A and B are shown apart, each in its own frame.
Chain A
Amino acid sequence: MLEVRDLRVRFGRFTAVDGVSLSVGPDETVGLVGESGSGKTTVARAVVGLVRPESGSVLFDGAPLGPVGRRPASLQRAVQMVFQDPRSSLNPRMSVSAIIDEAWRTHPSSAPSGDRTTALHSVLDDVGLDSSVARHRAGELSGGQCQRVSIARALAVKPRLLVCDEAVSALDVSVQAQILRLLVDLQQRHHLAMLFISHDLGVVHQIADRIAVMRRGVLVEEGPATDVLGAPQHEYTRSLLDAALELTRES
């Protein structure tokens, strides 16, 4: 469904992504891991069209996605992103209902044909938010609620691929568990594909079918999650695993 071919992204003289190829099939979750600065976010931004690749292509159902703005509306709608910092990715002065409305205005083909309020409440219900939250401004919500609103905004336009960049990293542990469960439930209910970026290997292992490991702009290893983290082939993956802490204290 999503196919990234030989993607190369440069910022000035610096090559942030250097020939990355990966694919995400329907209903599939692909985890993208790697050290800070390895290029994960840049890949995600290229997939949603927020940075222009130097070369290579991003295909959706075989069609090139191209940069946001010049991307066909249907494709733009199909790929939605959830960001790390739930607070800064929402305008704090906007009400929740206005945030969802704006998503519908941006993608009119996804806007409800019937009653807007009913549709709004059903979108909020989908992410476990009470309909009373609709009136609140984003700035009045907790981190977990903000992240639910971000997910609701993404889902409101009925995407087929959700790109989550550290979507649970900024949340409290107990809230993180709620959002992970929510993402997995929604994925099954709406047949979403997911590109899931996280520095937490344990979390990625829980929800990804396949895992790709990035280092300095390059994919060094890719395969089924249990293989990559259970029996890593590449030395770099092993070093990431060695640095990851397990709860049970190894001597």
Chain B
Amino acid sequence: MTDALEVAGLVVDLPGRGGPVRVVDDVSFDIPAATTVGLIGESGSGKTMTANAVIDLLPSGATTGGSLRWRGEELLRASRARRRQVRGHEIAMIFQDPLAALNPTQTVGRQVGEILRRAGQSPQQVRSRVIELLDRAGIPEPAARLRSYPHEFSGGMRQRAMIALALAGSPALLLADEPTTALDVTVQARILRLLRDIQEDEGLAMLLVSHDLRVVAHVAHQVVVMYAGRVAERGPTSAVLREPAHPYTRALVDSVPAVRTRTALAHPLPGTPATPANRPSGCAFHPRCPIAREVCRVEQPSVRSVGSGRWAACHFAEEA
């Protein structure tokens, strides 16, 4: 299967008070065509910055390194015009907070149709395509909703409107950053099902960013686990969850309770998540790791193969 996106050694530096801070550090993973990759990690681990680097939406002053190959083309060295062309058309993004991402002063219909209008489609063409998109995103009575403003929608409906907007450019890769985090559980389940259906029906590649392992388990074929700006582990979702190759992944899996049966409280990890600005020496996870040894404090583990399709950054992955 061809890879839609190849992320290799991606580095993102953001300006900080004491000089640049490396918030994404040597991150590599692929998104094969028609595949959903889940990006999981705690807040500040660099998930959003990784996704934003892909779609060229990093904060001002950010510098990047490594490589982002989109269908064989290097995006990090593409011209601005070319990157603008990719964004929205070939790669589209949906955000956690649709209210912040949608324009409050424009109707939903106008915003979803924007990219079509700019592509020179006639008003009739735009209108019927927008209705089709809203319908695809599960908005009931789409024709009647064209004239609604975002604030007239519930949270779940707004997220659907943003999905319609993202699909308007017929992207081949959809980036979804915490798309259901702000939603109620029942609405979350529906939006996740919608994303899964769209991904399958349209054969999209998708990067689903989440801090919730259950969300990733539900929709992602592959998973990338990040800790303090680096990849801790990656591989096929079911294998990673069944048999984690990194102690951090194991702790995450153990901390998720079952719903229908009673689970004993997990033995929590000590300490707090490391931040890129305050990264411990050696393996950034060592102060919290239950199996850390002396070498972990001084030597940073590199990501290595630990089985078929499985990669982990741990000196003792075989014991995790």
Interface contact A243-B189, CB-CB below 8 Å: yes
CB-contacts of A184-234 with B (<8 A): 184, 199-203, 205-207, 225-226, 229-230
Interface contact A202-B268, CB-CB below 8 Å: no
CB-contacts of B263-318 with A (<8 A): 263-270, 272-273, 288
A145 interface residue per 8 A CB criterion: yes
Residues of B within 8 A of A245 (CB): 189, 192, 214-215, 217-218, 259
Residues of A within 8 A of B238 (CB): 249
B1 interface residue per 8 A CB criterion: no
Residues of B within 8 A of A142 (CB): 272
How does the 8 Å CB contact mask read for B185-216 relative to A, with 1 for contact and 0 for none? 11011001000000000000000000111110
Q: What is the interface size of chain B, counting residues whose CB is below 8 A from a CB of the partner?
A: 40
A1 interface residue per 8 A CB criterion: no
Residues of A within 8 A of B270 (CB): 178
A125 interface residue per 8 A CB criterion: no
Residues of A within 8 A of B273 (CB): 172, 174-175
* Stretch from B6-14, B74-82, B170-178, B250-258 that touches the partner: B250-258
Partner of A243, one of B185, B213, B288: B185
Interface contact B265-A229, CB-CB below 8 Å: no
Determine the main DSSP class of B at the interface with A.
loop
Chain A residue with minimal CB distance to B263?
A206
CB-contacts of B239-262 with A (<8 A): 241, 251-253, 255-262
Residues of B within 8 A of A175 (CB): 42, 272-273
A159 interface residue per 8 A CB criterion: no
A176 interface residue per 8 A CB criterion: yes
Query: How far, in Å, is B283 (CB) from chain A's closest CB?
Result: 16
B141 interface residue per 8 A CB criterion: no
B43 interface residue per 8 A CB criterion: yes
A106 interface residue per 8 A CB criterion: no
CB-contacts of A37-95 with B (<8 A): none
CB-contacts of A125-183 with B (<8 A): 142-145, 172-178, 180-181
CA distance A173 to B256 in the complex (A): 8
CA distance A188 to B211 in the complex (A): 30
B319 interface residue per 8 A CB criterion: no
Residues of A within 8 A of B212 (CB): 173
Partner of A247, one of B211, B256, B264: B256
CA distance A245 to B237 in the complex (A): 15
Chain B residue with minimal CB distance to A226?
B262
Known A-B contacts A35-B185, A178-B269, A240-B186; the reply to A173 vs B263 at CB < 8 A is no
List 23 contacting pairs A-B, 8 Å CB cutoff, sorted by A: A142-B272, A145-B272, A172-B211, A173-B42, A173-B252, A176-B255, A177-B255, A177-B269, A178-B268, A181-B267, A181-B268, A201-B259, A205-B262, A207-B265, A225-B262, A239-B186, A242-B189, A245-B214, A245-B259, A246-B214, A247-B241, A247-B256, A247-B258
Using a CB–CB cutoff of 8 Å, the interface residues on chain B facing chain A are 42-43, 184-186, 188-189, 192, 211-215, 217-218, 237-238, 241, 251-253, 255-270, 272-273, 288
